[in-house]
């Protein structure tokens, strides 16, 4: 019996249980990826390890008002042999049947999608399929050794939606040949294809990749951190205005990136999204025009308070260069990124 995807309930808190499954036999060598290093250092988890991971996560989640998904990440899941895919999905299905989780999601390549694969995923209750689109510019994909075309991503996205799955489309910015204009076009294409969610990953130079070689030869230069923040500042509102959920902004702070052992160069920051939201809010706050001699109070929605103040109070410090006194406060009556300014005459 097939398990059909259930609609995501926006009011419920969302939790992911990540299960990392590297694809050890990937025939592609994307310019930004070091699959050989991944293969040598990350083993495929055993069944008992996956069960323990799921149980450990479930023990920390609230019992009510939450939406829990098991996510198979770390490689191209549907590039694994069908029997191996089935073995992993068989471990997750009992949790779905018992209502302990509400969905199963996985990430894969666009050219690893076909009718046989989708039938298997639907039978085991997979709800969301994320495709690593990276870009919809053919030249960017070609220069990055991605190994698939924009049309293959488009075709795979259509098949996924036709079979009733939720569609996620991931993108990377700053790949070889990329521009802000191309990145915006990719974002708009992701929206037009019907994706309900996306991830935005800035490209970084990882040790022993093609990008690393080109970097040493002076043939590739990654975006600086300010450039990556600027690009993403333009992309986030595009998705938000279209109702597409941005699940992640910036690379996950893995041990290798934090320690610098694997990272050669590029716009990595453990609080990348905070940097982006800080700049988005600063652009909005520049519309304030009151008497600089007067103290001002800026009221924002509670969820936006930290973003409005800025990463390490950056926006408050900027405003203090112009205004005598600046105070931010939460106002539950305000929604989204709206704000109210009160200027006190002295």
DSSP 170-194: EEEES-TT--HHHHHHHHHHHHHTT
Give all strands of the β-sheet with 326-330 in edge-to-edge order. 326-330, 296-300, 339-343
Q: For residue 260, how many other CB atoms are within 10 A of its CB?
A: 10
Closest by alpha carbon to 326, among 335, 337, 317, 338? Answer: 317
Residue 4 lies in a domain: no
10 Å CB burial of residue 110 (0-12, 13-18, 19+) is buried
Helix 225-242 / helix 272-285 crossing angle, nearest 10 deg:
70
d(CA 211, CA 48): 37
DSSP state string for 194-241: T-SEEEEEE--EETTSHHHHHHHTTS--PPPHHHHHHHHHHHHHHHHH
For the chain, 346 residues long, give each residue's pLDDT as a single digit of tens: 444 444 444 567 889 999 988 765 566 678 888 754 544 446 788 999 999 999 999 999 998 889 999 999 877 899 999 999 999 999 999 999 999 999 999 999 999 999 999 999 999 999 999 999 999 999 999 999 999 999 999 999 999 999 999 999 999 999 999 999 999 999 999 999 999 999 999 999 999 899 999 999 999 999 999 999 999 999 999 999 999 999 999 988 775 677 778 899 999 999 999 999 999 999 999 999 999 988 999 999 999 999 999 999 999 999 999 999 999 999 999 999 999 999 876 5
Structure tokens at 196: 């309900």
pLDDT at 40: 43
Do the domain assignments include residue 3? no
Alpha carbon distance 134, 136 (integer Å) = 7
270, 297, 314 - which closes a domain:
270
Domain membership of residue 2 (yes or no) is no
User: Same domain, yes or no, for 264 and 300?
Assistant: no
Does 161 share its domain with 292? Answer: no
Up-side HSE of residue 15: CA atoms within 13 Å toward CB?
17
Distances (CA, A) of 148 to 28, 42, 122, 154, 168: 10, 25, 24, 11, 17
Q: Do residues 291 and 260 both lie within one domain?
A: no
Residue 8 domain flag: no
119 and 226 inside one domain:
yes
Domain at 186, CATH number:
3.20.20.70
Nearest 10 degrees: Cα torsion 229, 248, 84, 100: 170
> Which of 244, 270, 296 finishes a domain?
270
Range of the domain at 162: 13-270
Name residue, tokens 């299905």.
93
How many structural domains comprise the chain? 2
What does residue 255 show for φ and ψ, rounded to 5 degrees? -60, -40
On whether both 54 and 110 belong to a single domain, the answer is yes
Same domain, 218 and 312: no
Residues 203 and 317 in one domain: no
Q: Are residues 20 and 91 in the same domain?
A: yes
Q: pLDDT tens digits, residue range 91-126? A: 999 999 999 999 999 999 999 999 999 999 999 999
Residues 71 and 198 in one domain: yes
Say what the pTM is.
0.90
> Residue 114's pLDDT is what?
96
pLDDT at 190: 98
Please indicate, yes or no, whether residues 56 and 174 belong to a single structural domain of this protein.
Answer: yes
Q: Is residue 72 part of a domain?
A: yes
Sort strands 263-265 and 296-300 into parallel, antiparallel or unpaired: unpaired
Assess contact for 117 and 86: CB atoms under 8 A. no
Task: Indicate if 212 and 315 belong to the same structural domain.
Answer: no
Following DSSP, what letter does each residue of 310-342 receive, concatenated? -GGGHHHHHHHTTSS-EEEEE-TT--TT-EEEE
What pLDDT does 122 receive? 96
Instruction: Flag whether 299 is in a domain.
Output: yes
Degrees, nearest 5: CA angle 327-333-337: 65
Residue 276 lies in a domain: no
Residue 110 lies in a domain: yes
The residue among 270, 298, 317 that closes a domain is 270
- Say if residue 112 is in the same domain as residue 173: yes
């Amino acid at each position: 019996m097939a398990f059909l995807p259930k609609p995501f309930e926006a009011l419920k808190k969302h939790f992911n249980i990540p299960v990392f499954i590297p694809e050890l036999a990937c025939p592609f060598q994307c310019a930004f990826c070091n699959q050989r290093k991944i293969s040598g250092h990350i083993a495929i988890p055993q069944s008992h390890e996956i069960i323990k991971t799921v149980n450990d996560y479930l023990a920390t989640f609230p019992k009510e008002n939450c939406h829990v998904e098991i996510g198979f990440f770390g490689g191209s899941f549907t590039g694994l042999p069908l029997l191996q895919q089935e073995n992993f999905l068989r471990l997750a299905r009992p949790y779905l049947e018992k209502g302990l989780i509400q969905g199963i999601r996985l990430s894969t390549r666009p050219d690893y999608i076909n009718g046989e694969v989708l039938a298997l995923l639907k039978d085991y209750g997979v709800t969301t399929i994320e495709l690593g689109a990276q870009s919809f510019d053919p030249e960017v994909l070609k220069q990055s050794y991605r190994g698939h075309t924009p049309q293959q991503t488009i075709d795979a996205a259509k098949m996924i939606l036709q079979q009733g799955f939720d569609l996620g489309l991931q993108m990377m910015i700053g790949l070889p040949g990329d521009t802000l204009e191309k990145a915006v076009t990719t974002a708009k294409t992701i929206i037009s294809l019907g994706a309900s969610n996306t991830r935005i990953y800035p490209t970084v130079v990882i040790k022993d990749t093609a990008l690393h070689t080109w970097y040493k030869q002076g043939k590739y230069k990654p975006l600086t951190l300010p450039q990556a923040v600027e690009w993403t500042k333009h992309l986030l509102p595009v998705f938000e205005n279209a109702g597409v959920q941005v699940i992640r902004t910036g690379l996950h702070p893995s041990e290798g990136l934090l320690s610098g052992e694997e990272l050669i160069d590029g716009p990595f920051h453990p609080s990348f999204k905070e940097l982006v939201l800080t700049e988005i809010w600063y652009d909005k706050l520049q519309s304030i025009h009151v008497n600089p001699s007067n103290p001002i109070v800026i009221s924002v929605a509670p969820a936006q308070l930290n973003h409005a103040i800025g990463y390490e109070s950056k926006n408050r410090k900027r405003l203090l260069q112009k205004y005598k006194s600046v105070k931010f406060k939460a106002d539950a009556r305000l929604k989204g990124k709206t704000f109210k300014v009160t200027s006190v005459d002295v």
